[in-house]
Chain A
């Protein structure tokens, strides 16, 4: 009986499944999954099915459909390399600042413009109005094959080219037609092609941005992890008409807004943690939400930077540059891991991995020491950019930062930072002839600034916000990392941290424990007295 019942159930089940089977098998092949993401297949556009000799030729085709794209890009920092900070009124951007890595782009455009979002960026006066010079591919490339080699003023190389001329080194040409037919949304790798390699190499500059974020695990970055949510940069840095929010020149140090909601107008920076997580993100341990008034999320949630096996540069001493090896070429010294620790053309470096950040009060205001400002060796280290803030201004949060220490040339008589000509095949470039006199004179001339002819080296500090490489919550800092003496926040003033010894009133602790000890001794003495008295009586 039971057998028959089972058999009937089976037959019934099969009868139900049968139509589904036929429906599946008779269907046409699955559509290309790309079609589900985009309404246009660029490989079908006739205009792109041709050979391109240069970048601007591609852009011209892009603009034939995306008619306003270049105008949007023209408004961005990515294009202008210029930013007027409304708060400090300082004119910033790559065009104007002097940093303590390669110091300045001014006379080095042909090399530096590899990371400009444009073509033919051959000097500070590059054609700002040219629409065809906007480089669409550098951000929208999906193949990973698009390259803008150093020395070509931001242009890709389409035919095999010997560079530098006479060196015997060949730069392979790339096929712009293929790349242009496969364009798509920006990826971590496209943003990373510049932002991961700032300062002259992988991970050099930021510390929290390097090639380990191309395809990170969740443990390195909980949002971008390919084994997790797989965020791209633009998931947080959500663009609006090619404008990318989240600026290092004028960062949002304190975001008191709630989480952004779809359909609700929001004027605040969408790239902050709070823009998604709000002000009370800790559900399990509500006490942690009491920290969000004073601590940037990053302070606890990024326990260390350069965590992805790519070291970051922590200091750079230009004053020791200039040594040559036995072969007469600039000296190269590497550490055990193969990283340069001394280069004749650059000086001494220190690389570090898994670096614990420094912590400072930061209100979002960054004050730069620009090329015209007077500096004095007596006041060194000079802050290339100083994060301002205090415990009491009501706008500051405690932020993790990378402190980058440099020692770089300055005009010893005019007392200004110098613009240094580094890259290029000419006789004055420092990387060619290792001569500071010529290099500084040429750099200052290119910048149109006076140079006394006398230079010296001055210690400088650059500050970098640490905001990427957010660790999974179980890897965030624990209470005792800060609630202790000599903890992470030992040097942060203006705040009482329970458990931090330096915040105690020493008098109270000393008096309290002394009295407690005396009381204990007193009662013990009294007790012994009673025992002795009782014994005598017997």
Chain B
């Protein structure tokens, strides 16, 4: 195992800014939904909208970054060792075993991570993004021929997306503690350096 620089500066900025924005949006979003009163509905709605634009802007940059750097390949799903990883979290982790998946610089996510992150990127994010924009521009929907879509339905789908994001967040934060030390993943995400990376053979980069 070696200490390797796995998370680039933009990637770290993107991750933590997104974390902050998503938590902000969950907190303000559920107030807008009427689940509790915290900031006042007005402020919550304003904050939610501002954060939404910031997050969308961030996503545009992140998508651009992923494609121009080729980092999108990190999320190509695989079934290889998926069962092993699941079994590790169910049993091996309690026995102090090492993680069955050996990270490399170009394959830094284990099979479960890949499928989860891909799900977030291809399903949860677009769902929240689209329904959010529909919500925000509800009055203008008629102009693009979608005047018949009810606000209730839009809100329902948006709330559904929010719950999925909340579930992801809980699991994600917890699994952040499941590295070879409880703080290893957090440290890596902050500094960019991970000291539990398998050095991959030269040829593997071509994959």
Contacts and interface: CB of A to CB of B under 8 A. Distances in A.
Interface of A: 287, 290, 293, 478-480, 483-485, 495-496, 498-501, 503-505, 508-509, 511-512, 515-516, 519-520, 523, 526-527, 529-530, 533-534, 537
Chain A: interface secondary structure? Answer: helix
Contact of B95 (A515, A523, A533): A533
A508 B156 contact: yes
Contacts of B152: 496, 503
A512 B163 contact: yes
Interface string B14-39: 00000000000000000011110100
B155 A499 contact: no
A157 B99 CA distance: 104
A478 B41 CA distance: 9
Contacts of A495: 151
Nearest to A478: B42
A479 B45 contact: yes
A504 B163 contact: no
B159 A508 contact: yes
Contact of B150 (A496, A500, A501, A505): A496
A485 B34 contact: yes
B5 interface: no
Given A499-B34, A523-B174, A533 B41 contact: no
Given A499-B33, A508-B156, A516-B163, A523 B96 contact: no
A512 B159 contact: yes
Nearest to B96: A537
A516 B96 contact: no
B40 interface: yes
A480 B45 CA distance: 10
B177 A527 contact: yes
Interface string B136-151: 0011000000000011
B169 to A, nearest CB: 9
Nearest to A482: B41
Interface residues of B, number: 33
A527 B174 contact: yes
In the complex, the 6 A-B pairs of residues with the closest C-beta atoms, listed nearest first: A512-B163, A523-B174, A496-B152, A533-B94, A499-B34, A480-B41
Nearest to A519: B170
27 contacts: A290-B138, A479-B42, A480-B37, A480-B41, A480-B42, A483-B41, A483-B45, A495-B151, A498-B34, A498-B155, A499-B33, A499-B34, A500-B34, A503-B155, A508-B160, A512-B160, A512-B163, A512-B166, A515-B163, A516-B167, A519-B167, A523-B170, A526-B89, A527-B177, A533-B95, A534-B96, A537-B96
A495 B151 CA distance: 8
B93 interface: yes
Contacts of B166: 512, 516
Contact of B139 (A290, A496, A500): A290
B139 A498 contact: no
Interface of B: 32-35, 37, 40-42, 45, 49, 89, 93-96, 138-139, 150-152, 155-156, 159-160, 162-163, 166-167, 170-171, 174, 177-178
A347 to B, nearest CB: 43
A330 B152 CA distance: 57
A292 to B, nearest CB: 9
A393 to B, nearest CB: 15
Contact of B174 (A504, A509, A526): A526
Contacts of B35: 509
B100 to A, nearest CB: 16
A533 B93 CA distance: 9
A225 B35 CA distance: 41
Contacts of A509: 35, 159
Given A485-B34, A501-B34, 6 more contacts: A478-B41, A498-B32, A499-B41, A504-B33, A509-B35, A520-B170
A383 to B, nearest CB: 29
A424 to B, nearest CB: 56
B41 A523 contact: no
Contacts of A503: 152, 155
A496 B163 contact: no
Contacts of A293: 139
B41 A479 contact: yes
Contacts of B95: 533
Contact of B40 (A480, A500, A523): A480
Nearest to B35: A509
A520 B166 CA distance: 10
With most chain A CB atoms within 10 A of its CB, the pick from B35, B151, B170, B178 is B170
A272 B37 CA distance: 36
A526 B37 CA distance: 32
A508 B155 CA distance: 11
Contact of B167 (A496, A504, A515, A529): A515
Nearest to A537: B96
B152 to A, nearest CB: 4
A499 B170 contact: no
Contacts of A533: 94-96
A528 to B, nearest CB: 11
A515 B170 CA distance: 11
A483 B42 CA distance: 9
A424 B151 CA distance: 58
Contacts of B94: 529-530, 533
